[in-house]
Amino acid sequence: MNLVPLYVAIPLGVAFLIPLLGTWWKKSGEVLSTVSTALLALMAILSIGAPAVVLYMGGWKAPVGIALVQDGLSTLLLIAINVVAFLCIIFSLKYMTEYTGLRKYYSLFMLMVAGMNGVVVSGDLFNLFVFLEVASIASYALVAFGVEADELEAGFKYLILGSVASVMILFAVGTVYAVTGTLNMADAAREIATKFSGPDMNPALLLAAAFFLMGFSLKAALVPFHAWLPDAHPSAPAPISAMLSGVVIKSLGVYAIARIFFTVFGFSPDVASSGIIANAILFFSVLSIVVGGLLAIGQWDFKRLLAYSSIGQIGYVTLGIGVGASVLASGGTRSLAALAILGGLFHLLNHAAFKSLLFLSSGAIQRATGTRDMKRLGGLKERMPITAATTNLAAFSIAGVPPFSGFWSKLIIIIATIKAGHPAIASIAIGMAFVTLAYYVKVQREVIFGDVGAAVVKAREVPAAMYVPLIVLAIVCVGFGLLYPVFGDRILEPARDALLNGAEYIKLVLG
């Protein structure tokens, strides 16, 4: 049985059912979204190890019809999206009670999940754009959900920049269609590989690649396209910050960059222009690592610190992918490219776990103490032992303390970078890993340990519905650090192979 369309159909249907049933069923949002995200997370986890599947919508074979594809890379993203979404919904049940209009919240949340799932299973460029817009519009509204002055301003900024990104992506989609005459990704990849190969890429395709890179980098918040993120993430409600940082910027940004450039455009030493694209990805990644890390140190707002840290960590993810791309583009060995991509994808998965954990913890802390100003926090382990412990674990993981998960993924990325012949970039990455450690030590000193802060005195541990997702994510973080042999060859390696073997994707979709 082919379950791929359900990843889109279930959340989309639930998103519209919630307000419909809401008039006579008050808890429609809570119940329906919990059940459906649990089901989606289960479906995603059960699809581990299954062979790649394609569904042709309406029975029209590609390239005429729209294809939905679930290969290794899609499975990796589907697991991250749906598991994080489920835990965020559980967290929301208690956390969101202080807001009004909850049915709208759950409805928008499910729309966002539907959009992201759609992006990662879509095999069609325009379809990808449509799902990207569905997820983006829902996330604009969710960032401004508090409708206070700050939330609205952050939401408006995100909305304007996000719309510019969408315009760029649509322009690029149109250009690819004009050149290749197809919107199906596999078909476009075949056209580009057969008709437009050669030392110089078709200039129109290069323009499209530039617009794709700008548009998706804006969605992924890579420096210098990051201006919306440090405002949007702290302003959103905590579960939405966790979703934005944990999965939205990855599925709309990093996944799309990886899929479009590896699968559709392809990196090969015969095409000189593909080296330019790889170098551009590397350049943005290094800028993100440096700028995100350095700006994070000076922050005293806990969520704003986490937001800047997201920029830096996304830089590591794209660095792994970019090194892989540059190795392929310069004709290096495939095993080295595979190592770099594996590191990037591993960091993507780790970041989804520990950053959503950190943002949810920040929400729990804000709920219990009423502040996220780190100067007024401190000594949290006395008053909120569970939240303090999970925050601590996540901080260890993201700072790259061995044997936690962040250490291994950063290590793989840095080793691959050195072996690929970029010692300067590798030393920057190592240096900034220590900066990451520095600002998470600051988090530990100011928030978890130390004297009990002014705001913490009366704080009590949050209810179980809020700390259970934290504990689950903390276990996942530890698991990613210690149990690579268990999940690595089932989740990460198929995803890596999906990126490396573009030809197999073409064969899969076009038959």
Partner 1 sequence: MTVYFLCAVLLTMGLYCLVAKKNIVKKVIGVVIMDYAVNLYLIILGYKHNGVAPIISKGMSDARLERFVDPLPQALVLTSIVIGLGVLALMVSMCIRLYEKHGTFDMSQISKLRG
The encoded tokens of residue 58 equal 């309406």
d(CA 148, CA 154): 10
The encoded tokens of residue 285 equal 């990644």
Shortest distance in whole angstroms from residue 159 CB to partner 1 = 6
Shortest distance in whole angstroms from residue 27 CB to partner 1 = 27
Shortest distance in whole angstroms from residue 126 CB to partner 1 = 6
Shortest distance in whole angstroms from residue 476 CB to partner 1 = 32
Contact letters (x/-) for partner 1, 28-67, by CB under 8 A?
A: ----------------------------------------
Question: Under a CB-based contact definition with an 8 Å cutoff, are residues 112 and 139 in contact?
Answer: yes
CB contact set of 483 (below 8 Å; sequence gap of 6+)? none
φ, ψ dihedrals at 240, nearest 5°: -75, -40
Shortest distance in whole angstroms from residue 293 CB to partner 1 = 17
Residue 431: how many other CB atoms lie within 10 Å:
13
d(CA 309, CA 315): 10
d(CA 112, CA 135): 4
Which of 80, 314 has the CB closer to partner 1? Answer: 314
Shortest distance in whole angstroms from residue 382 CB to partner 1 = 32
What is the chain's percent helix, strand, coil content, to nearest 5? 75, 5, 20
In single-letter form, the type of residue at position 231 comes to D
Contact letters (x/-) for partner 1, 226-265, by CB under 8 A?
A: -x--xx---x------------------------------
Question: Under a CB-based contact definition with an 8 Å cutoff, are residues 58 and 135 in contact?
Answer: no
Q: Tokens 């903390």 label which residue?
A: 474
Which of 61, 458 has the CB closer to partner 1? Answer: 61
Which of 219, 422 has the CB closer to partner 1? Answer: 219
The helix (run of H) or strand (run of E) holding residue 83 is helix 72-95
Scanning 197-301, the segments in alpha helix (DSSP H) are: 203-220, 229-235, 238-243, 255-258, 272-297
Question: Under a CB-based contact definition with an 8 Å cutoff, are residues 247 and 353 in contact?
Answer: no
Shortest distance in whole angstroms from residue 79 CB to partner 1 = 28
Which of 155, 292 has the CB closer to partner 1? Answer: 155
Shortest distance in whole angstroms from residue 217 CB to partner 1 = 17
Which of 183, 271 has the CB closer to partner 1? Answer: 183
Which of 150, 270 has the CB closer to partner 1? Answer: 150
Contact letters (x/-) for partner 1, 146-175, by CB under 8 A?
A: -xxxx-xxxxxx-xx--xx-xx--xx-xx-
Using CB under 8 A as the binding rule, whether residue 9 contacts partner 1 is answered as no
Using CB under 8 A as the binding rule, whether residue 277 contacts partner 1 is answered as no
Shortest distance in whole angstroms from residue 341 CB to partner 1 = 32
Q: Using CB under 8 A, count the residues that bind partner 1.
A: 34
Question: Under a CB-based contact definition with an 8 Å cutoff, are residues 304 and 245 in contact?
Answer: no
- Name residues contacting partner 1, limited to 350-409 (CB under 8 A): none
- Per DSSP (E only), the strands in 106-238 are none
Q: Which of 396, 279, 394 is nearest to 328 (CA)?
A: 279
Which of 78, 141 has the CB closer to partner 1? Answer: 141
d(CA 19, CA 256): 31
Contact letters (x/-) for partner 1, 304-343, by CB under 8 A?
A: ----------------------------------------
Query: What single-letter DSSP state applies at residue 184?
Result: B
- Name residues contacting partner 1, limited to 116-145 (CB under 8 A): 126, 130, 133, 137, 140-141, 144
Cα torsion angle, 367, 300, 251, 415, sign:
negative
Cα torsion angle, 397, 401, 404, 408, sign:
positive
Using CB under 8 A as the binding rule, whether residue 8 contacts partner 1 is answered as no
Cα torsion angle, 450, 454, 457, 463, sign:
negative
Contact letters (x/-) for partner 1, 70-109, by CB under 8 A?
A: ----------------------------------------
Residues within the interface to partner 1 (CB under 8 A): 126, 130, 133, 137, 140-141, 144, 147-150, 152-157, 159-160, 163-164, 166-167, 170-171, 173-174, 177-178, 183, 227, 230-231, 235
